[in-house]
Amino acid sequence: MMNDTLAVALSAVDNYDRAGKKTIVVSPTSKVIERVLKILNEHDFVGSFEKMSSEKGGFLKLYLLGNINKCGVIKPRFAVKVSDFEKFEKRYLPAKGVGLLIVSTNEGLMTHYTALEKNLGGRLIAYCY
């Protein structure tokens, strides 16, 4: 039994991208993993993905673009206020304006840029640059 399926999925994506692979099968899958991959797709870090099902459950076939330098989850899931985003940007991203933090807010998962625009805090989930 896996404790953190999102961490396993992002680690696999990072490893396959570094190895120069073009596709990856992510299994098991969840709504959180799908939403994180959708955010990464919107910001051109990964390509499209398709949800497939099998006898043992669902999996995602993800197409990689080779645009990821590093991605991963943030543990523990720090609670963050709007005024604290800059502090965590310095901690997890290489430079200001490079990459993104994924935040879980009461309006759903979004990037920290969107959360700043909407003046929302939340919990840090993942980062990618």
| Residue boundaries of the structural domains of the chain | 5-64, 74-128
- The torsion of the CA quartet 13, 17, 21, 27, rounded to 10 degrees, works out to 0
Residue 120 has what DSSP assignment?
-
CA–CA dist 32, 126 (Å, integer): 11
* pLDDT attached to residue 93: 96
Does domain 5-64 fall into CATH 3.30.1370.30?
yes
Q: In this predicted structure, what is the pLDDT of residue 54? A: 77
C-beta separation of 35 from 6 below 8 A: no
Helix, strand, coil % in the chain, rounded to nearest 5: 35, 35, 35
**Residue 89: helix, strand or coil by DSSP?**
helix
pLDDT for 53 equals 85
Nearest in space to 70 (alpha carbons), one of 114, 3, 23, 13: 13
Per CATH, the number for 74-128 is: 3.30.1490.10
- How far, in Å, CA of 102 to CA of 83, rounded? 16
Q: Digits of tens for pLDDT over the chain (129 positions)? A: 678 999 999 999 999 999 999 999 999 899 999 999 999 999 999 999 999 887 777 899 999 999 999 999 999 999 999 999 999 999 999 998 899 999 999 999 999 999 999 999 999 999 999
Residue 66 · residue 17 · CB < 8 Å: yes
Tell me whether domains 5-64 and 74-128 share a fold: no
- How far apart CA 49 and CA 60 sit, in angstroms, is 6
pLDDT of residue 40: 97
Q: Can you tell me the distance from the alpha carbon of 51 to that of 121, in angstroms, rounded to the nearest whole number? A: 30
